A and B are shown apart, each in its own frame.
Chain A
Amino acid sequence: MGKFETNIDAKPRYSAGVIPYKKMGYWEPDYRPKDTDVIALFRITPQEGVDPEEAAAAVAGESSTATWTVVWTDRLTACELYRAKAYRVDPVPNTGAGTAIDAQYFAYIAYDLDLFEPGSIANLTASIIGNVFGFKAVKALRLEDMRLPVAYLKTFQGPATGIVVERERLDKFGRPLLGATTKPKLGLSGRNYGRVVYEALKGGLDFVKDDENINSQPFMHWRDRFLYCMEAVNRASAATGEVKGHYLNVTAGTMDEMIERADFAKNLGSAIVMIDLVIGYTAIQSMAKWARNHDMILHLHRAGNSTYSRQKNHGMNFRVICKWMRMAGVDHIHAGTVVGKLEGDPLMIKGFYDTLRETRTEMSLEHGLFFDQDWASLNKVMPVASGGIHAGQMHQLIHYLGEDVVLQFGGGTIGHPDGIQAGAIANRVALETMILARNEGRDYLKEGPEILEAAAKWCSPLRAALETWKDITFNYASTDTADFVPTATASV
């Protein structure tokens, strides 16, 4: 640490008053991050006239030890260690002069491990995204990525169950899992709701799911839903010989109520419960501990994330949420479909999926991964693809998303012209026939439509599904896209 002490002359540094953050020690271009440092990458749009290094230093300062003015009490601490250090600022390609977009910069900021409480997402985020996003010196700010050191990851439980053990518990290997969200999402009584669950599971789905806003409303209180859903799950399991599940959403107004609902789900024999991202990081971590202690898979719906993850200049990238949720300990998380109705650029989604599923990810700028990341043996999270997908896209879904994913066809099951069971059969046959073809070495992405047509010759539910949804696509431009393309060099 002696190195930093020599950079700053203490007497003028600690004179009362206001000095630039750069001069306070938050800009250290020669700093080389330690293996144990947390690193955050911010996209900064500085205010007019603020130089990018000063803006980066300000972000480092406000997300660690600084306040707006000099305080002498710094000198009672090992303040050189506790200061976050902005050490690198790169212009973002295709922004600034000559473009229609304000100049943006990628700022790399390193934080010493001692700044963070072990095992607490709340504490980590209170620093990294606490005050700094409202800071006046920046016009806009976005947290793009983080490098979490192994030493810190080892203080987190990680996913309660993980992909491997989830598959072992379900006895389902070698293919994506199939799910559906019960529709309409609001208004069904418990009895009618369970009917949808039973039909979909008996038809061939592995899971059915509560939607994010199904909790305990006047038309269906939570206990009614849990009771009827578990009747449906067990009937379907007996009818097929397979393990089946329904994600019972235990989201509630207080932690105590959530635990009460989760306990009830467990006592009824459910394999899985569900929570929404809006319950908050601490509640998510509590539920992850509960899930591991009770042999339960924990599904997370990312309700609310698009309020801060979708726009490119401000907020935070969803890949950071993926990292925090893997640390917090969920087993499933909705992470995009590429081809469905919700936002999702293929390259970005690959970055999310790799972050959730790999034991180690390499830096890959075109996928939005700015750092090598070793996951320190934390379990893998199963991504969930949900929203506007159907059987006719099966080849694309497997190509983009791989086999460790839950493919959720809500409308694409329940909206089938011949009924819910037929919808489920169509999806399962399409899935199995495509996996068979993939394993046989066929060029299934190119031949996908023919492979599905061939199966539709002997499977009339699949035939009807392909006919119903043949022209449905959602071709809108994504807002959250890569800043780097694999081949081109940045424009100069």
Chain B
Amino acid sequence: MMTNHGNRVTQGQFSFLPDLSDEQITAQIKYALKNGWAVNVEYTDDPHPRNTYWEMFGMPMFDLKDPAGILMEINHCRETFPNHYVRVTAFDSTRGWESPRMSFIVNRPDKEPGFRLVREERGGRSMGYTIAPYAADRPEGERY
């Protein structure tokens, strides 16, 4: 079990808050749409902090402007992968950004065992550090 506040992976912009309701998620989708950002849904069972490329649940919804429709896609992903991490990101295509502007987790496994820290002793007192999710010891799709 993770021993941090909330006993959970705290990636994303709202992980310190109670899990967001559908209504709260919808409000965030509206904020993204108001800014002209494209909402994207991604899932993974490898929550390593440097695992950048979570699996895309379809394409970013560039042309879908209906918050209820976007929420349906999010819920579809959550139903398909109930024991995965699912995050919602919002992409800004304007010059000077061209990058996500929002990212928050909307689904997570019931139990989050956390990460192993491996210390590799080097010369002197130096240490090389490796972080690995305990769950990633098992094959993809069988982790949570």
Please give the residue numbers on chain A whose beta carbons come within 8 Å of chain B beta carbons, in ascending order. Answer: 164, 167-168, 171-175, 202-204, 223, 227, 230-231, 234-235, 237-243, 267-269, 359, 377, 380, 421, 425, 428-429, 432-433, 435-436, 439-441, 455, 458
Contacts and interface: CB of A to CB of B under 8 A. Distances in A.
B14 A238 contact: no
Given A167-B100, A432-B13, 7 more contacts: A164-B97, A167-B99, A171-B49, A171-B52, A238-B116, A243-B49, A436-B28
A415 to B, nearest CB: 18
B24 A202 contact: no
Contacts of A235: 117
B72 to A, nearest CB: 20
Interface in B42-61: 47-50, 52
Contact of B131 (A173, A230, A238): A238
21 contacts: A164-B99, A168-B100, A173-B99, A174-B102, A174-B103, A203-B4, A230-B129, A234-B131, A237-B115, A239-B2, A240-B4, A240-B10, A267-B126, A359-B95, A377-B96, A432-B13, A432-B14, A433-B17, A439-B31, A441-B30, A455-B17
Given A238-B131, A239-B114, A436 B99 contact: no
Given A175-B13, A432-B13, A458 B18 contact: yes
B28 A439 contact: yes
Contacts of B9: 240-242
Interface string B69-105: 0000000000000000000011000011111111110
A140 to B, nearest CB: 38
A359 B97 CA distance: 10
Contact of B5 (A204, A435, A436, A440): A204
B138 interface: no
Contact of A425 (B5, B97, B100): B5
B27 interface: yes
B112 to A, nearest CB: 8
Interface string B1-45: 011110001110111111000001001101100000000000000
Given A204-B5, A234-B131, A173 B13 contact: yes
Query: Which of B48, B98, B129 is most buried by chain A, counting CB atoms within 10 A of its CB?
Result: B129
A321 B103 CA distance: 33
Contact of B96 (A173, A359, A440): A359
B104 to A, nearest CB: 7
Contacts of B15: 432
B98 A164 contact: yes
Contacts of A359: 95-96
Q: Which of B89, B95, B96, B116 has the most CB of A within 10 A?
A: B96
B128 interface: yes
B31 A204 contact: no
Most buried by B among A231, A240, A421, A458: A240
Contacts of A223: 125
A172 to B, nearest CB: 8
Contacts of B64: none
Nearest to A459: B16
Given A204-B5, A428-B16, A432-B16, A243 B50 contact: yes
Looking at A429, A433, A436, which has the most chain B CB atoms within 10 Å of its CB?
A: A436
A241 B135 CA distance: 13
B68 interface: no
A435 B17 CA distance: 11
Contacts of B125: 223, 227
Contacts of A267: 126
Contacts of B50: 171, 243
A227 B96 CA distance: 36
Given A240-B10, A439-B28, A421 B18 contact: no
